[in-house]
Each structure stands twice: as structure tokens, then as C-alpha cells.
Amino acid sequence: MKQRKLGNSNLFVSELGLGCMSVGTDEIYARRIIETALEEGINYFDTADLYDMGENETIVGKALKNVREQVIIATKVGNRWKPDQSGWTWDPSKTYIKEAVKNSLKRLGTDYIDLYQLHGGTILDPIDEVIEAFEELKTEGFIRYYGISSIRPNVIREYIAKSGLVSVMMQYSMLDRRPEEKVLPQLHEHGISVVTRGPLAKGLLSDKMVEKLAAGKGYLDYSFEELSEVLPHLKEGVEGVRSFTEVALQYNLANPVVASVVAGASSPEQVRENAKAIKSQPLTNEEVSLIKQVTKANTYQEHR
């Protein structure tokens, strides 16, 4: 599988990353999924301290222990579980970040995290404090690089201006083209990579399209009626000899700022299907143009 450089770091990540949140809590089965990903050439594994109250990090760490030097482990921080585990609160303070990283390292069974990401954030956060925490963790050797997971243009602009982040994780797909308007060009200009999530738009852009449409729901600013018209048209226009999953994943990779497409998988078979799609031929300029003609150029609403 091809790899792409992550921002201005020295990390090279596989074009397909495994979103580990979906591997589940059965350690044996989760290991099968992760080992299949390794067999397919995936070296980028994305988790978070939030997932399954930290258990996901533990499972990922154990599964990757024997190949630790050959893989890129990314995890996230900022969502703090309540003492009674009834939910979580947002805590982007320097104190919490520096405490949480040690817990993540312990669960992952590693001495360092390749990419540490703020798991969300608003413009009201103590952004300078967050950056200070990340920079100190780099200096101390606990993390190699840092980034943020955010879809908020105003927050992303602040980190571009003030920090040394190497990546931004964000939702992006043929049905969610919001990043294309301003965010992707700005990140590309500054040499910061994008790691995308949600490339299949909750299954609407996969071979389960008909099944998902049967639920009768809309998606973002698409009504159900619009989806019923757009999706078959899109599938017919660009699919050809490709699978719909292939078109969806390749659409993300067609943008040069995208380093890796992170897709979840709940079975080894799903990993293989996604890997096959990523290893296929890139979309032509004509195919990309057709997709943009058929779909909406969604616009972000600014939020704090």
C-alpha cells in the first residue's frame, strides 16, 4: 500500500488508516481485524482514550506490540470520563493533557505516541495552553508530533497560526465537501496534512447504499428525497467497473492535502474490501469533476 508524508513530520502513513473504535472489545476478534490491516499494508492506527473508556487503547497496544517500530499509533485527548462513568466532560487544560498522556502510554504499552491529537475543541478553549502542553510533551519525548481532530474552521485557523501541528483530522466525503471551500486549501498552503474520517458517510457511499437509503433519513443538509436522487445518479455516473466504496475512498485521496483516509472496520473482510479500494487506480480528473457536479459544495457554519 502506498504511503504519504504526514505534514512536515518524518512520518509516512498508509493511504488507508484503520479507525480502531469499531474493532470492538473482544480482544481475540479485534486482534484479527488489526492483523488483517497489517497484512494489507496499513501502518496507521487511530484510537482515543475515550473509546470504550480506554479499553480500545489497551487492545490496540497489545495487538501492535510486536510491530511497534513499524507502525504509526495516533490517539486523542480532551474528553474526560466522569468518575461514575456515566458520560464525559471536555477538559483541554494543560494539567489534564499531561496527566492523560501518561495513562494512554500505559494502556498502549509504549514509551511514545507517534501522533497525539486534541479530540475536538472550540474557540473558547485555552488554545495557548493546549499548544504549550503538546510542545512540552514533544520535548519530553512522550509524543513525536501532534495534531487536532476538528471540523471548526475558526479553531483550525488558530492552530495553524500558533502551533506546530502536522495534521488535522476531519470528516470529509463526497456528501460532506465542506472542507473544500476554505479549510483544505489553507492547510495545504501551510504544509499541514489532513487525515479524513467518515469517507463512506455512514454507509451511504458504500455498496450498502440501498439498505441505508431504506432507513428514510437525510444526511447533513441533504434531505432523504435529495439523497434518493443524488446517490443513484452518482453511483451510475462514476462507478463503472469500480465499486462505490472505491470511488468514495479515492475521492478523498484525490485531494493532495489528504495523507490518509481513516475507515473503521468491524470485520477482517471489511478491512480487505477497504484496502482493495485504496489500492485501485486513482480517480481521473473527469470523474472528480462529475462528482462535484452531482453533489453539493456544502458550506460550514462558523461555531465557537
Q: Which residues are catalytic?
A: 51
- Please state at what angle helix 94-108 crosses helix 55-64, rounded to 10 degrees: 50
Alpha-carbon distances, residue 61 vs 40, 213, 264 (angstroms): 19, 37, 17
What are the φ/ψ torsions at residue 218 (nearest 5 degrees)?
A: -90, -175
DSSP string of 94-163, one letter each residue: HHHHHHHHHHHHHHHT-S-EEEEEEE---TTS-HHHHHHHHHHHHHHTSEEEEEEE---HHHHHHHHHH-
Measured from the Cβ of residue 277, the count of other Cβ atoms closer than 10 Å reads: 24
Task: List, in sequence order, every residue forming a beta bridge with 258; answer none if it has no partner.
Answer: 194
| Whole-angstrom distance, CA of residue 67 vs CA of residue 71 | 7
Task: For residue 84, give the amino acid letter.
Answer: D
Alpha-carbon distance 151 to 178, whole Å? 9
How many helices (DSSP H) and strands (DSSP E) are in the chain? 11, 12
What backbone phi and psi angles, to 5 degrees, belong to 220? 50, -125
